[in-house]
Amino acid sequence: MSRHDVDMAHLQRLARLDLEPDEAEALAGDVAEVLAYFDQLAEVDTEGVEELARPVVPARPWRADAVAPSLPQARALELANASQDGYLRVPRTVEED
């Protein structure tokens, strides 16, 4: 096993992908290439290079926080797909093992 053998079954579960075996094999190669590139980046000598706090300037500046009226609970519940006992109901996103 090489350093970048990819457990595609695990990745598919995490990403909720349904791939055919040939697609998974091709993707495993791509993932391994990306990981190998990260290894190359890790080898770059960054001694003496000042760390950038924000290398890219945000497109929009932050707005000031301001108190504003919020959506009333009753209206939010009206707009929801599902509600129960005054709360919004949403699909489960975390599965128990």
pLDDT of residue 4: 66
Closest Cα partner for 95 from 24, 18, 13?
13
Q: What is the pTM of this model?
A: 0.47
Mean pLDDT of the residues in the chain:
87
Tell me whether residue 32 is exposed, middle or buried, using C-beta atoms within 10 angstroms of its C-beta: 0 to 12, 13 to 18, 19 or more. Answer: middle
Contact present, 63 and 41 (Cβ < 8 Å):
no
* Candidate from 2-11, 28-37, 76-85, 86-95 with smallest mean pLDDT: 2-11
Contact present, 58 and 38 (Cβ < 8 Å):
no
CA pair distance 14, 80, nearest whole angstrom: 27
pLDDT category at 76 given cuts 50, 70, 90 is very high
User: Distance of CA 83 to CAs 19, 27, 75, 91, Å?
Assistant: 34, 40, 12, 11
All structural domains of the chain = 1-45 (1.10.20)
pLDDT of residue 1: 44
Average pLDDT over residues 10-37: 91
> Residue 23: in which H helix or E strand, if any?
helix 21-42
